[in-house]
Chains A and B, each alone.
Chain A
């Protein structure tokens, strides 16, 4: 990944200074604006679909035959899990790369645009069969259910577009390192490097899976190895979860301390958290297969340990965040054991939204640790509990962090300012969103424990008493979903107002400095090659045994089925 640097060091240095003073260049700004626009349009569409599901699941609303529950659910998943998360992550980190590395290289910008259009093209290809009811296979598209081949070809383009952006980021970071020998990658770009490493390596398994599915979906190959496909999917599926999580975590460590007027947590520990998450992440995906057949219990147990290990850097983060809050508040004169909390800027949406997002990760992370623990998974696997869990993690911790970022990131790229009115709107939106998610996710967790399954349209199972007893809980899905819809509309309004109508002005890109007396970070944290090797070794340890077993001792494969 070598690049030719056309500018001499001196002009580059001047450019970097200008970049810090003048803000983002118009070309880089346009890129991020486009990515964020798509992300928030995705949440608008995905939110509307989510509301339809909530109303249906509560038994209050029958979907028409031309748009059934499973079509809606597939689209909802793709829009929010793939489009929103990928487009926001890339838009935000590309702005961060531009800001911290002295602008994007022209070549990298071009790559990001090519990636942008590839992803859009891929998404359109994937959506057409969904709308035609040719691909009601959910975000997980488990074989031997077979969607239209066009759906999978669309997914290939989405993955290729993501890879373009990942390589663009690597090239930009490599070029900066060449120009700044002996320096550490700026912290936000360090996070970006971690995220793009995960995006690239994490999507390799799903790319392999899709390449085996396409000929089978076309009918050129008769059967498919179901367990190999499933395992490859989850090697990617949970990595994606941790990609958007790591994106949110970057904001917690780097942005939020600055917003509250403090300094960021210890640089070395922050980088260790990034490295740990990058190394350990891909192997965590296996916990989606804890009650699958054909995997021996000792192998599952090893995977449980690998999954639980991911909790450790998150627990480090929990400490770090509250330590930063307390330290900052005490410097501002906060007193008492917990009385210092009064000194935090609760009325500032740029703090309030990510703070509630972090607080939500306490139950969300705890639930995650519980449900990944071997036989405990059996109690909740594929029930509504799991849906409740990822609406806390993704819907609260991650998406609310994204919302909080948008209140300065969008003015920053639009050369506008956040107005007090929009800040107030944001605070109200945050409260509505929080209430909606607590009501919906709480009910989902509870009814899941009672046995209500996920990914199932409203059903009384022929008036079964047990199923009927779930209805009061499912009613809360409609209430929560309605609040969330109001939240989506407010948020999308705020985003596009800040993008096109807010008063012109300069908005700062808030990156917190380290404490003054901090020891310099050791050089070894920069050895990305080593971290990638460690990651690959761990992935090998986790996946070689089951995958070889599934391939060598494969049963006869399965033909494609269209069961919808």
Chain B
């Protein structure tokens, strides 16, 4: 029924898929490279009075380490136009005040869905100086193509 070449092919195919799983799993669980999965719940209609979102902003929490609390709403990011020194690690804490938004920073691996009712967290180290474009990558309405801000790394 099966030729030897087919068996070889299927073993290689199976090996490739398992290889993907092993490498991705090792990186995700040993180096914490897994996708953003934070799951704290929040009342989406009371974001403004719920800490930490009652005071969105950027806070220095250590040597070259910052925490950014940010709300996403049509069609803007609050805190916007962030500035950090090169080499900083930035922890973002995000939630949405209305519909589903995306939080994406071009030229980095920052990419997370921000869903109303849930707090999302994602971290990135910024080594290269420059102006990074932050944008919403989940269609959120008429002004979706305007929803952007910047992160300046000096």
Q: Is A70 an interface residue (CB 8 A)?
A: yes
Is B44 within 8 A of A227, CB to CB?
Answer: no
Closest to B24 in A: A374
Q: Known contacts A293-B37, A319-B6; is A563 also within 8 Å of B145 by CB?
A: no
Q: Is B45 an interface residue (CB 8 A)?
A: yes
Q: Looking at the complex, which of B58-66, B83-91, B105-113 is the stretch in contact with chain A?
A: B105-113
Is B118 within 8 A of A555, CB to CB?
Answer: yes
- In the complex, the 7 A-B pairs of residues with the closest C-beta atoms, listed nearest first: A563-B141, A451-B106, A555-B117, A555-B41, A459-B145, A453-B137, A315-B13
Mask, B85-125, CB within 8 Å of A = 1, is 00000000000001110101111010111111111100000
Cross-chain contact of A375 among B10, B33, B132, B145 (Cβ < 8 A): B33
Residues of B within 8 A of A300 (CB): 34-35, 37
Q: Which residues of chain B from 1 to 27 have any CB-CB distance to chain A below 8 Å in the complex?
A: 1-3, 6, 9-10, 13-14, 16-17, 20-21, 24-25, 27
Mask, B24-53, CB within 8 Å of A = 1, is 110111000111111101111110000000
Is A227 within 8 A of B36, CB to CB?
Answer: no
| 21 A–B contacts, CB within 8 A, in A order | A70-B139, A136-B142, A138-B139, A142-B138, A145-B100, A226-B100, A293-B113, A295-B39, A301-B25, A311-B13, A319-B6, A375-B27, A378-B109, A453-B135, A453-B137, A466-B106, A466-B131, A554-B117, A555-B43, A555-B44, A556-B117
Closest to B98 in A: A561
Residues of A within 8 A of B138 (CB): 142, 382, 455
Is B37 within 8 A of A295, CB to CB?
Answer: yes
- Docked pose: A249 CA to B24 CA in angstroms: 29
Is A296 within 8 A of B39, CB to CB?
Answer: yes
Q: Is B79 an interface residue (CB 8 A)?
A: no
Q: Tally chain A residues at the interface, Cβ within 8 Å.
A: 73
Residues of B within 8 A of A301 (CB): 24-25, 28-29, 34
Q: Is B82 an interface residue (CB 8 A)?
A: no
Is B41 within 8 A of A144, CB to CB?
Answer: no
Cross-chain contact of A293 among B107, B114, B139, B150 (Cβ < 8 A): B114
Tell me, rounded to whole Å, the shortest Cβ–Cβ distance linking B148 to chain A: 4
Cross-chain contact of B115 among A293, A308, A553 (Cβ < 8 A): A293
A295-B39, A451-B135, A453-B102 known, 9 other contacts, Cβ within 8 Å:
A68-B142, A268-B1, A291-B111, A293-B36, A293-B113, A375-B35, A383-B104, A556-B46, A563-B141
Q: Which residues of chain A from 378 to 394 have any CB-CB distance to chain B below 8 Å in the complex?
A: 378-379, 381-383
Q: Which residues of chain A from 131 to 190 have any CB-CB distance to chain B below 8 Å in the complex?
A: 136, 138, 142, 144-145
Q: Tally chain B residues at the interface, Cβ within 8 Å.
A: 66
- Docked pose: A70 CA to B34 CA in angstroms: 32
- Docked pose: A558 CA to B34 CA in angstroms: 28
Q: Is A316 an interface residue (CB 8 A)?
A: yes
Q: Is A423 an interface residue (CB 8 A)?
A: no
Considering residues B105, B109, B113, B120, which has the most beta carbons from chain A within 10 angstroms of its beta carbon?
A: B113
Is A458 within 8 A of B38, CB to CB?
Answer: no
Mask, A308-322, CB within 8 Å of B = 1, is 110110011001000
Tell me, rounded to whole Å, the shortest Cβ–Cβ distance linking A553 to chain B: 7
Closest to A146 in B: B99
Q: Is A323 an interface residue (CB 8 A)?
A: yes
